[in-house]
Structure 1
Amino acid sequence: MHKDALLKKLNDKTAVIGVVGLGYVGLPLSIRYAEVGYKVVGFDIDQAKVDILKNKQTYIEHIPVQGIAKAIESGFEPTTDLSKAREVDALILCVPTPLNKYREPDLSYVLTTVDALVPHLRSGQVMSLESTTYPGTTEEELRPRIERAGFKVGEDFFLVFSPEREDPGNAKFSTHTIPKVCGGTTSSCLEAGLALYEQVINTVVPVSSTQAAELTKLLENIHRAVNIGLVNEMKIIADRMGIDIHEVIRAAATKPFGFVPYYPGPGLGGHCIPIDPFYLTWKAREYGVHTRFIELAGEINSAMPEWVVEKIADALNERERSIRGSRILVLGIAYKKNVDDMRESPSVELMSLLQAKGAHIAYSDPHVPTFPKMRRYSFDLASVDLTPEVLASYDLVLLATDHDKFDYETIESHSKLIVDTRGRYLGARPNVVKA
């Protein structure tokens, strides 16, 4: 009975959708549900974010104010009040799953959120966890908490795992065009999960369990991490041999089968690729498996900033300068091009390493006007304008994130020395060093 009533509400769009965590995943999802006609309640612990949304403004660059304004006008309600969870039919959890200082999974955001929601749950709801995590989390951590509150999962409460697949700054794909994987705790849970997503996502891909859905997300990100580790290692070999790895990758990518191009960089960034593989590494220990591939890729990728610093030291040394006392301008501090997302950005690690060696650091990033508050790093800096005079005043310009908004000709013409970690400058150039 509970299931049929829920399915009917989801299918005829009379269901109220609750999205918990209004960040890079939760906010676009909320807007999408509002767009197709659902009433949406958005929960976040940050009152400042809620106030910005209520004022029809944005705090994420690639999510435009028009979309937020339209959602608010059609009844999207941002709030910090978790007791409103009783009013919704679906709860979609989009909260962070970082690593702790021992590189182990930190599920505290997920578990404190679920614990805070439990007193406000009611029969006939569906809960979907979208946060990336190790296989077994939904079954081992969420299900017992819900059942301790007196619900029977699969009968009067429905539980699914459906991993987020956002790609900020990718104009080719949006929330509703990216296929969505969904696994349920029971077959009834899966039915509820499919009904929850099918109205807003073009293609929903059912899998047999929440564990399969959890592992799917990890495989996707491990695939990227391992391949990026491979090209980062190839970059070091090519550099020793005096070969431009970017030229080689572009040539290899002309093969129409059996090769997918991945590009090296100054390290891994973002909330997924540097973090998610270690969720599987940690869980695999329980089964006596040592994930060598994943750990090797992690070692190579996390060593990249140090390798770039060595290249910077060598480039300055060639010009009879040391890192200590040099003025270094870092171009691009977001973790990937054309976005304002700073999470796990290798640029910031580079700034920290260079400053520790005595460099005077500045940065320019059209997407990040002032350096944000971060857990591990603190720089009291604002983005500088790239005028010819400004560029000429630095001993070295480090291209860390290759935003399309940069004027690369002006940068090359007026910089004394450029260290390019992104392969933006092809061929031999007198003032460019590849790193």
Structure 2
Amino acid sequence: MPADLAVIGLGPLGLPLAQAAVAAGIPTVGYRTGPEAGSLSPAELRRMLSGGFRHAVGPAELGRVRTAVICAPTPRGTDGDLDLAQVEAAARTLAARLRPHTTVILESPVPPGTTEDFLRPLLEEGSGLRAGRDFHLAYSPSRTAPGNRDFSPAGTPKVIGGLTPACTESAAAFYGRLTDKVVRARGLREAETVQVLETNYRHVNIALVNEMAVLCHDLGVDLWDVIRCAETKPFGYQAFRPGPGVGGHTVPQDLGGHASRPLRMVELAEQVNSQMPRYVVQRAATLLNEHGKSARGARVLLLGVTYKPDLADQQSTPAREIALRLMDLGASVSYHDPHVPAWSVTDRPIPRADSLYEAAADADLTILLQQHRTYDLQGLSVKAQLLLDTRGATPTGAAHRL
């Protein structure tokens, strides 16, 4: 059966979109842009395949769909800016097969102006068609929440911004098949900037609460009780919680050369959040010292090395830097994660604990980095010699909290 939708890029943005489309009954084909690690479970992938999803056998299939959504990853490059190489490759591949009346939508995180100034010329030059006249061009910020069962694609509004009003309406018609609410932005740049604002909002607020974690520890104040009380305020406050660092696929954007001035708040938030792995290691070394042990030679068990709970995704996980810093101090590091059967840091394989409780009892220090649902934190707090909880997930008094 010919596909109606092509999802180009099958990583953490593309796979959830393809999953939602298949669930909505849209014949969907997926096209990889590179080695991509998605966030769906094997069972979810099997359901997608049984629902009609299939991988493209070649790029020619991209020319047989009515809608093509580019979800290629845009990791941070060595210069600090987002790397658009995979978006460019996806655009060139699509452009060579682009047919008139196709709707092309970009969902990858990009600086404002990218869709019109970068993607549009690639598509037009490669196809000989003109955006807004021969095919529709739009941007929609991805709003995936892997592992979050509270927000389904149907219940999450989608923002759409098109090159022309007709482009906006064509993209809105597509997303209207997936979600209960479509929000029309004024144009491409407004839609792109929505993604920038939403991403930076997360990072800035995490930075604030991470700073509060350090301050409250210094003051001897229970931060987690402070958050519990503060979130009862029905207006003007949204609860964020600290952690060992900020992982994930969306990086904060201060826009660099794309704007006349940098976003100073975002720059500062990055500095604060990037210090959290080092702070966790400092706390770990202090705890060991307070209990008569040195970090050098200490057995340290890391629990949960993914960036989100109950997922295998390790993108930008702070666990890597924490493990590396602990090993630099001379600690013997092992890990346990029900979603990660093997783990390496800078090409050094980290031993995996097979028996969680035995490993926690044997370790001089156990550090909870990610709160997977399968972890019995009450039981772990009893078994562990020393437990540092970076997520505030253990019962009060059962562990040393961040």
Q: Give TM-score, length-normalised by structure 1.
A: 0.87
Please point out which of 380, 387, 392 is paired with 1:411: 380
The 1-side partners of 2:240 and 2:182 are apart by: 27
Please point out which of 141, 144, 165 is paired with 1:166: 144
Change (3 A) 1:253 1:133: same
Change (3 A) 1:377 1:65: same
Matches within 5 A, 1:358-397: 358-371=330-343, 377-381=346-350, 383-397=352-366
Opposite residue 132 of structure 2, the aligned amino acid is G
Alignment match, 1:91: 68
Report if the CA contact (8 A) 2:175-2:182 is conserved: yes
Alignment match, 1:249: 227
Alignment match, 1:55: none
The DSSP-based 3-state class of the residue aligned with 2:174 is helix
Report if the CA contact (8 A) 1:267-1:301 is conserved: yes
Report if the CA contact (8 A) 1:362-1:381 is conserved: yes
Opposite residue 155 of structure 2, the aligned amino acid is T
Alignment match, 2:133: 155
Number of aligned residues: 401
Opposite residue 401 of structure 2, the aligned amino acid is K
Alignment match, 1:117: 94
Q: Does 1:40 align with 2:20?
A: no
Change (3 A) 1:387 1:401: closer
Post-superposition CA distance 1:175-204 (Å, at most 9, x none)? 222111010011111111111211122211
> Percent identity, aligned pairs only?
35
Q: CA deviation at 1:59?
A: 7.3
Alignment match, 1:29: 17
The 2-side partners of 1:45 and 1:105 are apart by: 16
- CA-based RMSD of the aligned residues comes to 2.2
Report if the CA contact (8 A) 1:28-1:63 is conserved: no
The DSSP-based 3-state class of the residue aligned with 1:64 is helix
**Off by >6 Å, runs of 4+ in structure 1:** none
The 2-side partners of 1:105 and 1:47 are apart by: 18
Q: CA deviation at 1:100?
A: 1.0
Alignment match, 1:127: 104
Q: CA deviation at 1:151?
A: 1.1
Change (3 A) 1:65 1:83: closer
Q: CA deviation at 1:67?
A: 2.1
Q: Does 1:233 align with 2:205?
A: no
Opposite residue 264 of structure 2, the aligned amino acid is R
Opposite residue 255 of structure 2, the aligned amino acid is T
Report if the CA contact (8 A) 2:200-2:266 is conserved: yes
Post-superposition CA distance 1:7-58 (Å, at most 9, x none)? xxxxxxx972111112222223223323333322211146999xxxxxxxx9
Matches within 5 A, 1:29-428: 29-45=17-33, 60-61=40-41, 64-71=44-51, 74=52, 76-149=53-126, 150-272=128-250, 275=251, 277-278=252-253, 280-282=254-256, 285-371=257-343, 377-381=346-350, 383-428=352-397
Alignment match, 1:4: none
The 2-side partners of 1:349 and 1:62 are apart by: 28
Unaligned runs of 5+ in 2: none
Opposite residue 244 of structure 2, the aligned amino acid is P
Q: CA deviation at 1:397?
A: 0.2
Alignment match, 1:10: none
Report if the CA contact (8 A) 1:47-1:80 is conserved: no
The 2-side partners of 1:287 and 1:301 are apart by: 23
Q: CA deviation at 1:379?
A: 4.0
The 2-side partners of 1:297 and 1:222 are apart by: 9
Report if the CA contact (8 A) 1:62-1:168 is conserved: no
The 1-side partners of 2:43 and 2:274 are apart by: 30
Indicate the larger mover: 420-429 or 167-176.
420-429
The 2-side partners of 1:328 and 1:143 are apart by: 51
Report if the CA contact (8 A) 1:369-1:382 is conserved: no
Opposite residue 190 of structure 1, the aligned amino acid is T
The 1-side partners of 2:355 and 2:191 are apart by: 45
Unaligned runs of 5+ in 1: 1-13, 50-57
Change (3 A) 1:214 1:308: same
Report if the CA contact (8 A) 1:229-1:300 is conserved: yes
The DSSP-based 3-state class of the residue aligned with 1:263 is coil
Opposite residue 197 of structure 1, the aligned amino acid is Y
The DSSP-based 3-state class of the residue aligned with 2:279 is helix
Opposite residue 335 of structure 1, the aligned amino acid is Y
Report if the CA contact (8 A) 1:97-1:110 is conserved: yes
The 1-side partners of 2:274 and 2:236 are apart by: 27
Post-superposition CA distance 1:369-390 (Å, at most 9, x none)? 2227xxx743424642344332
Change (3 A) 1:382 1:67: farther
Opposite residue 49 of structure 2, the aligned amino acid is A
The 1-side partners of 2:339 and 2:9 are apart by: 23
Report if the CA contact (8 A) 2:10-2:36 is conserved: no
